[in-house]
Amino acid sequence: MNSRFKVVMAAVAVTLSTGLLEAQVSGCSSPATRHASKRTADRLATAVDRYADSIAATGLSGVLLVGVGDSVRAERGFGAANRDRCIAISSSTLIDIGSIAKTFTAIGIARLIEQGRIRETGPLSRFFQNVPDDKSTITVRQLLTHTSGLQSFHDTAGDFEVMSRNEAIRRIFSDSLKFAPGTKESYSNSGYTLLAMIGENVTGLGWQQYLRDSVFRRAGLRDTWFWSESGMPHDRVALGYLGLDARGDPSKWPLTWASVGGAGIVMSARDLFRFSRAIEKGVLVSAAMDKAMQEHPLKKWAEGWEVSETPYGKLVMKGGASEFGFTSQLRRYVDRDVTVILLLNTRRNDKDYPHVEVGPGLSDVVFSSLR
């Protein structure tokens, strides 16, 4: 057994010393196991079920999904989407995906690049007026790969800060650079907000409308929404939890220019799998573009993805986390055509980032079973 797998399994198998989270969840007739997917003799599905049980024992809740090629080979919801109403989580529950939204932004921009409407080498001065000299040469590719030197955020009051498009531009352009563009990498939400604005400038459409028309519908997504979008089925939306406290309902969160481009998407695990397959099959961008998007200019950040080599081959990944209890990962093992998805709606405390352990641990379970 893989040594890292042993460590992760041991960590997630330990129940919380206070027992408070288990008590909170058990009040809903044990939703951690009540909504288990139909169990089969399939070795992979059984292993994922057992892994989900061990995670649920620590008080976490969410969805695990594993696809091999076009087939969903294992999926499991555990815990509650809404504790007060005793609504269990399943692969059709709508969950905030955090910064995985940036991958949608990157794909949306890549489509415009393939159409010849945007050049990766195009500077900010081509898309905006009155760009400060230190930022005028920042390119689209540098925004995509987090090598622009822009600051991490442009909000001062959190993700839901009321902010107009013009105010967002003013703040981003007036802030100092961390480094000369292209010389280092540093994660920047602000860079992805500018990418959404560039998309709007080029298409003449609002960014959400463009993504819905050119990405969501093209990929066949049926359960994907933007924060507070009208028509979202509220009874299927998972609340976020930090310990025992409910921290928010994404169906009611306002999407402002504090978050556009970098966050703001709620979807099911099944739809996230459809999105991943649409990329793999060339539905959204060509195979050549997909491969180009996986190339990182410096260390790990590529165009919308974090790329690394693993014992299971090349990993093309994007994760997300928020202070409202949600953490997530989309893991594409492109050499093996395996997709691993986790969408969690619980963090034990404000220093807990469970996806960092659960994602690699789930991957170990998957490939041990496939062998």
Does the pLDDT of residue 35 top 70, yes or no?
A: no
The band of 350, judged by pLDDT with boundaries at 50, 70 and 90, is confident
Q: In this structure, what is the dihedral angle of CA atoms 243, 246, 252, 256, given to the nearest 10 degrees?
A: -40
| 308 backbone dihedrals φ, ψ, rounded to 5° | -155, 165
Neighbouring C-alpha atoms within 13 Å toward the C-beta of 117: 13
Under DSSP, the state recorded for 187 is -
Q: For the segment 82-95, what is each residue's pLDDT rounded down to a tens digit?
A: 999 999 999 999 99
Q: What is the pLDDT of residue 27?
A: 52
- Tell me the CA end-to-end span of the chain in Å, nearest whole number: 12
Q: Which two tokens stand for residue 295?
A: 């190339």
Contact 139, 123 (CB under 8 A): yes
Higher pLDDT residue, 269 or 15? 269
pLDDT digits (tens, 9 = 90+) for 201-247: 999 999 999 999 999 999 999 999 999 999 999 999 999 999 999 99
280-331 confidence digits (pLDDT tens): 999 999 999 999 999 999 999 999 999 999 999 999 999 999 999 999 999 9
**R_g of the chain, CA atoms, integer Å:** 20
| Pairing label, strands 87-88, 265-267 | unpaired
Question: What is the DSSP pairing of strand 224-226 with strand 313-321?
Answer: unpaired
Look at the block and give the residue holding tokens 């822009």. Answer: 150
197 — alpha (psi -120 to 50), left (phi > 0) or beta? alpha
Better pLDDT: 10 or 269: 269
pLDDT for 31 beyond 50 = no
Q: What is the pLDDT of residues 138-164, one digit of tens each?
A: 999 999 999 999 999 999 999 999 999
Residue 241: name the closest of 320, 323, 322, 325 by CA: 325
The per-residue pLDDT of the chain, averaged, comes to: 91
In terms of C-beta density within 10 A (0-12 exposed, 13-18 middle, 19 or more buried), how is residue 211 classed?
buried
